[in-house]
């Protein structure tokens, strides 16, 4: 970008990934949520356990997304009731719901959290470069840049498949571990990157978790928003 500083704290980690003109953006729809994918894109990704939201809340989120997509497509105005629904089930509000610790919160088990951390680290430097991640009791945040030819959807699938298999083995359980869908945001600017990393690293504190081990950032020492405890590496 013109006038962009080259000595930004995270610049060396994600060089080239935050430039809006780099690569082609394609929209992939898996039925409920559209996913914007970009060659060598830099993403803020969130995925959560299958029981982290009640069925009613999931249905409301699906309805919210359907209303938003329709309104954007045809330029329609929203009714007061629709505006209320959209505000109540915004991503920010849903995140606060996760932080209250709904469901069994299987990721509190350090063996389960370690299995997921292993999955995240396995392709680091080969298929993607991790910038920051945080494993919460019932959901996960990841900020990473994908390397040439690598796919966002395939990476998330690999994290879920490996961690689900190991969790079921460790806990002697059966059944799905993760919700099918995940949330992703394509990061295009430096400020967005800083906010995403700051959000990830401060999530345990916001949720009232003390001495939480499962939070990490490669550039944590340069960020004022970095968490005090980093681990799982």
pLDDT band at 146 (very low <50, low <70, confident <90, very high): very high
- Residues of the chain above pLDDT 70, percent: 59
Tokens representing 155?
């990476």
Q: Tens of pLDDT along 12-69?
A: 444 333 333 334 434 344 444 444 445 578 999 999 999 877 666 666 666 666 766 6
Greater model confidence, 81 or 198 = 198
Packing angle between helix 110-122 and helix 152-171, nearest 10 degrees? 150
Cα 214–chain centre separation: 14
* Burial environment of residue 221 by CB neighbours within 10 A (0 to 12, 13 to 18, 19 or more): exposed
CA distances from 158 to 87, 112, 161, 165 (A): 33, 15, 5, 11
Mean pLDDT lowest for which of 68-77, 109-118, 156-165? 68-77
* Residue 81 and residue 63 in contact, taking contact as beta carbons nearer than 8 Å: no
Residue position matching structure tokens 């020492």: 221
- 46 forms beta bridges with 141, 183
Residues of the chain with CATH 3.30.70.1290: 1-51+105-233
- Which pLDDT score is estimated for 177? 96
| CA-based end-to-end distance of the chain | 33
Specify the pLDDT at position 115. 97
Element (H, E) at 143: strand 139-146
pLDDT of residue 188: 85
Architecture of the structural domain at 1-51+105-233 = 2-Layer Sandwich (3.30)
pLDDT tens per residue across span 78-108:
777 766 656 655 666 566 666 677 789 999 9
pLDDT over 80 at 127, yes or no: yes
């Amino acid at each position: 970008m013109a006038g962009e500083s080259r000595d930004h704290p995270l610049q060396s980690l994600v060089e080239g990934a935050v430039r809006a003109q780099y690569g082609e953006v394609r929209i992939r729809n898996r039925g409920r949520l559209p996913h914007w994918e970009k060659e060598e894109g830099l993403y803020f990704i969130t995925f959560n356990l299958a029981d982290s939201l009640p069925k009613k809340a999931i249905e409301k989120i699906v309805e919210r997304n359907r209303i938003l997509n329709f309104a954007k497509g045809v330029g329609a105005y929203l009714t007061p009731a629709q505006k209320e629904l959209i505000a109540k089930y915004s991503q920010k509000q849903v995140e606060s719901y996760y932080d209250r610790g709904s469901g069994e919160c299987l990721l509190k088990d350090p063996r389960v959290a370690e299995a997921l951390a292993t999955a995240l680290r396995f392709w680091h430097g080969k298929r993607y470069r991790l910038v920051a991640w945080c494993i919460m009791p019932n959901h996960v945040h990841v900020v990473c840049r994908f390397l040439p030819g690598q796919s966002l959807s395939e990476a998330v699938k690999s994290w879920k498949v490996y961690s689900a298999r190991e969790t079921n083995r460790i806990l002697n359980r059966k059944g799905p571990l993760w919700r099918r869908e995940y949330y992703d945001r394509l990061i295009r600017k430096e400020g967005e990157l800083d906010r995403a990393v700051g959000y990830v690293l401060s999530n345990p504190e916001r949720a009232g978790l003390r001495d939480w081990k499962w939070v990490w950032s490669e550039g944590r020492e340069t960020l004022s928003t970095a968490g005090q405890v980093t681990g799982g590496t």
